[in-house]
Chain A
Amino acid sequence: MATKDELGRRGEDLAVDYLRGTGLVVLSRNWRCRDGELDVVATDSTRLVVCEVKTRSGTAFGEPAEAVSRQKAARIRRVTQAWLAAHQVRWCEIRFDVVAIVAPPGGEVTLQHYESAF
């Protein structure tokens, strides 16, 4: 596995632990369909929380949260529709979050959670 995928995997594990810590129940991880992938799908028992996890080893190329562009947000919305259809969930409130993780090699890991990011 490439280093960057490993980093992403590690970040997602961190994010899931964190989200569980805030009281969310994780329903799916890395759910894929033709249109793309959802990193984490969870619920706080009243609404669905779709979470994009972005991990970077440093901020030299910008903050990780900045990498969530308008197009990416649109794709996540589209994939969420597919997820809802696949799991036969009808009407529900959905929240889109971003978890940004900076994990410099050998340094301290920081995690920032943007609720209702888009």
Chain B
Amino acid sequence: MPLARAWSVALYGVDGRLVEIEADIGLGLPGVHLVGLPDASLHESKDRVRAAVVNSGRTWPNRRITLALSPATLPKAGSGFDAALACAVLAACGEVAQGELDGTVLIGELALDGRLRSVRGILPSLLAARRSGARRVVIPAETLHEASLVDGLEVVGAARLNDVLGWLRGDQKLPGPPPLTVVPPDEPPDLADVVGQKSGRLALEIAAAGGHHLMLVGPPGTGKTMLAQRLVGLLPELAADEALQIAAIRSVAGRLPVTGPLSLTPPFVAPHHSSSVAALVGGGSGLPRPGAVSMAHRGVLFMDEAPEFGPHLLESLRTPLEEGEVRLARAAGSVRYPAHFQLVLAANPCPCAPAHNRDCTCPPTVRRRYLGRLSGPLLDRVDLRAELLPVTALSGLDLEPGESTSAVRARVLAARAAAQDRWAEHGWRTNSEVPGPALRTRFRLSTSVVAPLEQGLREGRLTARGSDRALRLAWTLSDLAGRDRPDEAMVAAAMRFKEQQVA
């Protein structure tokens, strides 16, 4: 048969599209012509596929072969189409029956000797294949662990092109995915390790309960980093759909662990301050790859030494913070990655940062400029600011032992459950997700309760967005206290947290 079809998947971010690959053997000089907007790496697959087919002991048709990737208008990139291209050609020259390829999606890069190599993004590809009604999928054997997350689809892993051909003909069996293993969450660092820092702990608890963005300011060595690392331990386990979303992002980034791909622990990502914008929000040549903000999806993005991050890095965070996703447009196309993360900033009060503020030797302008590197619009999105005080004693009677993670986590989970009950019918999960207008209309608080906010607005100490954020914080405080709505004292406290003067 001079015409054959095979199917594969093209990835755009974490969204996949089924791609139909047609092979036609026609008149003309021998050669391979690939059409359908392939990029450079896909153009090279002509040579890879041919070598792989020949080295697998099959005959390559010495004719003019036209390979069309459809939909033709979508730019396609990468080496994951190799297996499907090889099978389409072999079907066109009659080595494989077309009926065996129907309903089968083939994914994988071919090595010149006919081995099937792994590609990034198997998990989202499988999800796309299932969505488009494929019956069975062949993936590289090395990536089978990713397939254990997808059910309702026959997935097999092949190590060589010959295995795939044998399996298509029905002569050979191929292994399916291993049983799903959920990673038992690592024992998170315990909150009890942090010495003192009552206000820091409180801020951390509130941030965990309401999903609020947090900023910790204090001299070096007071436990900012320790506190931030303990935030993940306070958060509830991820829901199944969230865990799958994160696994898909990691799969696209090529960072899905082989042992136990599904993790229910919220991710904790701490980029260094020398990171590039591309590393932070996503980027790279061709179709952009996910950055730190997406790797921290449904988890914590911790920016230690926040003022050391370049201004363009900090500003690039503003849109994902507001919208919960990043859209990256490049010449090759635009992709969308989810980026719903909780931001934790940590900073020293000034460049010299002595243990006690009174020993600071920085000129006032330097001091002011240091935290001024964090722009107003960014800080306006941070709900909670906590100042950490120097630790004055490591042991002694005046030092009460801190609460452990499990004790605080119980309170956080109770508060989150209360918030979820309240907002469930509107589709919000935490207080921080509730839009401002809803807080001011449907869930409006009485005039006397919001009096501190009104006063703050009138005196110009608070922006309109700032007052919405203080309201959200007040709801979290009431959830933690076990009340059904905040009172005046809570609103006032929320406002203090919001506008606490740092530096």
Which residues of A lie under 8 Å from residue B29 when comparing CB positions? Answer: 65-66, 68, 98, 114, 117-118
The digit string for A97-118, where 1 denotes a CB below 8 A from any CB of B, is: 0100000000000001011111
Q: Distance (Å) between the CB of A100 and the closest chain B CB? A: 8
Closest to A70 in B: B29
Q: Which bucket holds chain B's interface residue count? A: under 10
Which residues of A lie under 8 Å from residue B28 when comparing CB positions? Answer: 114, 116-118
Which residues of A lie under 8 Å from residue B62 when comparing CB positions? Answer: 63, 65, 112
- Whether B30 lies near A116 (C-beta < 8 A) is no
Which residues of B lie under 8 Å from residue A98 when comparing CB positions? Answer: 29
Q: How far is the CA of A112 from the CA of B64 in the complex (A)?
A: 13
Q: Distance (Å) between the CB of A44 and the closest chain B CB? A: 16
Q: How far is the CA of A68 from the CA of B62 in the complex (A)?
A: 14
- Whether B30 lies near A63 (C-beta < 8 A) is yes
The digit string for A26-42, where 1 denotes a CB below 8 A from any CB of B, is: 00000000000000000
Q: How far is the CA of A86 from the CA of B28 in the complex (A)?
A: 28
Determine if B284 is an interface residue (Cβ-Cβ < 8 Å): no
Q: How far is the CA of A63 from the CA of B32 in the complex (A)?
A: 14
Determine if B31 is an interface residue (Cβ-Cβ < 8 Å): yes
Interface centre among B30, B31, B62, by most chain A C-beta atoms within 10 angstroms, is B30
Q: Distance (Å) between the CB of B121 and the closest chain A CB? A: 35
Q: How far is the CA of A115 from the CA of B63 in the complex (A)?
A: 11
Determine if B27 is an interface residue (Cβ-Cβ < 8 Å): yes
Q: How far is the CA of A24 from the CA of B428 in the complex (A)?
A: 81
Which residues of A lie under 8 Å from residue B31 when comparing CB positions? Answer: 66
Which residues of B lie under 8 Å from residue A112 when comparing CB positions? Answer: 62
- Whether A65 lies near B30 (C-beta < 8 A) is yes
Q: How far is the CA of A98 from the CA of B28 in the complex (A)?
A: 9
Interface centre among B28, B29, B31, B62, by most chain A C-beta atoms within 10 angstroms, is B29
Q: How far is the CA of A105 from the CA of B342 in the complex (A)?
A: 74
Q: How far is the CA of A83 from the CA of B454 in the complex (A)?
A: 96
Q: How far is the CA of A117 from the CA of B64 in the complex (A)?
A: 9
Interface centre among A68, A112, A114, A116, by most chain B C-beta atoms within 10 angstroms, is A114
User: Which residues in window 37-81 of B have CB below 8 A to A?
Assistant: 62
Residues in chain B within 8 A of chain A (CB atoms): 27-31, 62
* Selected A-B contacts with CB under 8 Å, 18 pairs: A63-B30, A63-B62, A65-B29, A65-B30, A65-B62, A66-B29, A66-B31, A68-B29, A98-B29, A112-B62, A114-B27, A114-B28, A114-B30, A115-B27, A116-B27, A117-B27, A117-B29, A118-B28
Closest 7 pairs between A and B when the two form their complex, measured CB to CB: A117-B29, A65-B30, A116-B27, A63-B62, A65-B29, A117-B28, A68-B29
Given contacts A65-B30, A66-B29, A112-B62, 16 further A-B contacts (CB under 8 A): A63-B30, A63-B62, A65-B29, A65-B62, A66-B31, A68-B29, A98-B29, A114-B27, A114-B28, A114-B29, A115-B27, A116-B27, A116-B28, A117-B27, A118-B28, A118-B29
